[in-house]
Amino acid sequence: MEGDTVRVLFIAAHPDDVELSCGGTAAKWAKAGRELIYVVCTNGDKGTHDRSLSPFRLAELREEEQRQAAARIGAKEVIFLRHPDGELEACSNLRMELAMLIRRFCPQIIFTHDPWRRYQIHPDHRAAGLAACDAIVLARDHLFVPVLEIVGLPPHAPSELYLWGTDDPDYFEDITETLQDKLDAVACHQTQLAQMPDWQDRVRQWAADVGAKAGTAYAEGFHRIIFRPAEHVFPRNAEPPADNRKS
C-alpha cells in the first residue's frame, strides 16, 4: 500500500448491500482518500419479481449495476465470488475465500453485515457476516491455513471491524454531505428499485432516523469493534473512544 492510505474492505452478501447499508460512509471515506474494495459473495440471481428475467441474465445485470454503483461511490475494485443467491453458508470454503482476500489486500478496516442482528431472516446476510468475522481469525493467525504463507499470503490483522444493520450501533458517521452520493449509487441498482417505487424517500428517512440519534441531519450507524494488538478476543462490548462515536 502506498504511503499512509487506509484500505477498507466491504464484505457484502449481495449487489446493492453496500450502497444501501453504508453508501454514504463509503462515499465520504473515498472522498477523504481511503481505498475501498468490495467483495460481493453471491451473484444476486434470485433478486427480482420480473418473471421475464432468467437467473443467468439477472446475475449479469446485477454485476454490472454493482460495478456502476461502486464507481459512483469511488471504490477501486469489486470482487464477485458468485455463490448462488439465497444459498450462502458460513462454511469452510467461504471462510477460506474471505481469509485469502483479507491477506491479499491487507485492509486496516472491514465492513460487513452484523450476523448477530435479532430477527435477521435473510440467510445470506447472516452467513456473509459470520463468515467474514471467522475469516478475520483465519487471516490473522499464522497457524491457521499455513499453506497460505507458502503461496505468498502472510497473516494480516485488521485494526477495526464495522458491522452494519446492527441492533446496537455505537458509532455514527455523518453522511449529510454524501447522502446524494448514496442515492446516486443506489439508483444504479435498477433491477431492485422497480419493486420499491418510493425508495428515495425511504432511504432518506432511514438516514434521517439514524441522524436523529447521532445529532446530525443524516447518518449511518454501525457496531464498531477495535482490535488491539495484544488481544486475541473480540471486545464486542468495549466502549470506543468518546471522540470517535460520531464524525
Looking up cell 477495535 gives 226
For residues 221 and 99, what is the distance between their CA atoms, to the nearest angstrom?
25
- Which helix (H) or strand (E) is 136 found in, with range? helix 123-140
167 secondary structure, DSSP code: S
Provide the pLDDT for residue 232.
45
Query: One digit per residue, pLDDT tens: the chain, 247 residues?
Result: 455 789 999 999 999 999 999 999 999 999 999 999 999 999 999 988 888 889 999 999 999 999 999 999 999 999 999 999 999 999 999 999 999 999 999 999 999 999 999 999 999 999 999 999 999 999 999 999 999 999 999 999 999 999 999 999 999 999 999 999 999 999 999 999 987 889 999 999 999 999 999 999 999 999 999 997 644 444 444 454 444 445 4
Please name the helix (run of DSSP H) or strand (run of DSSP E) that holds residue 226, with its range, or none: strand 219-226
The per-residue pLDDT for 244 is 46
Q: CB 209: neighbour CB atoms within 10 A?
A: 12
Instruction: Output the nine-digit C-alpha cell for 47.
Output: 433478486
**Looking at this protein, which amino acid is placed at residue 144?**
F
Q: What is the pLDDT of residue 40?
A: 98
**Nearest residue to 23 (alpha-carbon basis) of 183, 174, 204:** 183
* The amino acid at 41: C
Residues making up the chain, counted from first to last: 247
In Å, the largest CA–CA distance within the chain is: 55
As a CATH number, domain 7-244 is 3.40.50.10320
pLDDT for 212 equals 97
Report the relative pairing of strands 109-113 and 160-164 from DSSP bridges. parallel
